[in-house]
Chain A
């Protein structure tokens, strides 16, 4: 283990791994849900198919024209599949703590994309969100949290990365 890791108290470690697991689950389920379609609710009603089209067409901010063009492009189905798969892979990475650094980077890219496609500038409640936001919304906060996970290398605290790390860094462990 590195000296940085050793310096963390067990409460700090538990907190970081819990944060990683929660964010991982969020990504994992978002991806799973999007890939599940077509699907039915447990009460027996069919769910409309998921597509990023609505989200992209409703984009605001400086990059809005780009996102809107993506929403209307012919390769939207492939884009939908890509987004859903990326969410799922990031989720698996963070929940299991495997390739956690890559997972964190992936999460940051996705969250940054979601954020810049709809930067909250109005400061009043939006019909599609449950609160009022000005510049800072939950995507940005989640991105901040992922940055913390990346900085603390949480896969090496608890996760499958620990096995990889121990195997590939035997000398450092010995020291």
Chain B
């Protein structure tokens, strides 16, 4: 999907126009207004796993909402960069642990942010919940459905909050798209959604172990390389469906108001035959009730399409790109007349640019122009929302049930590839 710069600008204008007049985001219940404030300082956080994604999360912790008291990582080589991130976010220095259980015992923390390799999610999260901590866990929820169910049950049993990091749910752009366009029927009937996450890069990471005598086998990884590149091996990972598709699939479930009933999928190690197990190219079609589908593709050999979600409705098309750009187009003249949205039709210009010379990011809007959003806003608000849920019981926007359905869709997609068959969920 590539649009001309003019179309992108028009699409963004359409999006903003469609939202004009819709109620302000997050209109709050009158009940809350008549209650006074509740006592409590910033939430005391511990972070387990401060590598790539876990390290990034340290940078989006609003210090008014939470204080990072301690961090734990089996790889001590991560601490220097993590300390830097913590300082940059304006927090005082945090204590270091290599054993997360020791951190829970010694530190006065209320909540834990978990960003460990996928296969360890269930054990770490259930351990934290059973220790009475609230948990914000990176996506995907767990390596298998049983693990995700254990996490959900542990949260319920311990009466603790469990939120999963699908930051799109906290991104104002997605909230506006849902409230202002999807919920109001602005797209008409949506039978098809296209999800793409295309990159032209090797997923394999390079890095030296923290020390010569570092023993990854103590943590269940036969070599340092397995720990560093856990995403490439089935024992620890569920591949691109988990790391990328689950984000997008969770939003389709939200926008469709449904969960998939079946999945068809295929995948292969096509390009990087370097000993990895997970596919570098994979494709899935999820079938929803009412004849609706979502089709996902992720490739590691071409980045022209970049990443986006595209909702095709009988009255219009909604494109949510790079978590930061939203575009809306009405269907041709007849369709436009039937919709309540006053939109420019895209039929005046070709939709697809076949030129390979155009960079997919060349037409990114100027900062501040309508229809563009800050990508990090979703991550910042996600942690704020988690803290608000702990302090005053503000409802979670994802929650274990929703996250579990998205995980199930992605896990079963991998099973469908393996079995070369259509599987029901």
Seen from chain A, the residues whose Cβ lies within 8 Å of a Cβ on chain B are: 29, 33, 36-47
A-B contact pairs, 12 of them (CB 8 A): A33-B36, A33-B37, A38-B40, A38-B41, A40-B388, A40-B392, A42-B35, A43-B32, A44-B388, A46-B41, A46-B64, A46-B391
Task: Tell me the complex Cα distance, A42–B30, Å.
Answer: 11
Q: Are A44 and B42 in contact (CB under 8 A)?
A: no
Return chain B residues, CB-CB under 8 Å to A40: 37-38, 40, 388, 391-392
Counting chain B residues whose Cβ lies within 8 A of the other chain, the interface size class is 20 to 34
Task: Tell me the complex Cα distance, A43–B32, Å.
Answer: 6
Return chain A residues, CB-CB under 8 Å to B362: none
Return chain B residues, CB-CB under 8 Å to A44: 384-385, 387-389, 391-392, 394
Return chain B residues, CB-CB under 8 Å to A43: 28, 32, 388, 392, 394
Starting from the known contacts A33-B37, A37-B39, 11 additional A-B residue pairs (CB-CB under 8 Å) come to A29-B36, A38-B41, A38-B42, A40-B38, A40-B391, A42-B32, A42-B36, A43-B28, A44-B384, A46-B64, A46-B391
- Residue B221 lies at the interface, judged by CB distance under 8 Å to chain A: no
Q: Are A39 and B37 in contact (CB under 8 A)?
A: yes
Task: Tell me the complex Cα distance, A41–B39, Å.
Answer: 9
Task: Tell me the complex Cα distance, A44–B385, Å.
Answer: 8
User: Which residue of chain B is the closest to A39 with respect to CB atoms?
Assistant: B37
- Residue B65 lies at the interface, judged by CB distance under 8 Å to chain A: yes
Task: Tell me the complex Cα distance, A46–B67, Å.
Answer: 13
B61-96 with Cβ < 8 A to chain A: 64-65
Which 10 pairs between the two chains have the least Cβ-Cβ distance?
A44-B388, A44-B394, A38-B41, A42-B32, A39-B37, A40-B391, A42-B35, A46-B64, A36-B39, A43-B28
User: Which residue of chain A is the closest to B62 with respect to CB atoms?
Assistant: A46
Task: Tell me the complex Cα distance, A37–B41, Å.
Answer: 8
Q: Are B37 and A36 in contact (CB under 8 A)?
A: yes
B381 to chain A, nearest CB (A): 11
* B321-334 interface code vs A (CB 8 A; 1 in, 0 out): 00000000000000
Given A40-B388, A40-B392, A41-B392, are A46 and B65 also a contact pair (CB < 8 Å)? Answer: yes
Q: Are A39 and B64 in contact (CB under 8 A)?
A: no
A33 to chain B, nearest CB (A): 7
Of the listed residues A29, A44, A45, the one surrounded by the most CB atoms of chain B closer than 10 A to its CB is A44
A48 to chain B, nearest CB (A): 8
B86 to chain A, nearest CB (A): 19
Return chain A residues, CB-CB under 8 Å to B384: 44
User: Which residue of chain B is the closest to A42 with respect to CB atoms?
Assistant: B32
Q: Are B39 and A39 in contact (CB under 8 A)?
A: yes
Given A33-B36, A40-B391, A41-B392, are A46 and B42 also a contact pair (CB < 8 Å)? Answer: yes
A26 to chain B, nearest CB (A): 14
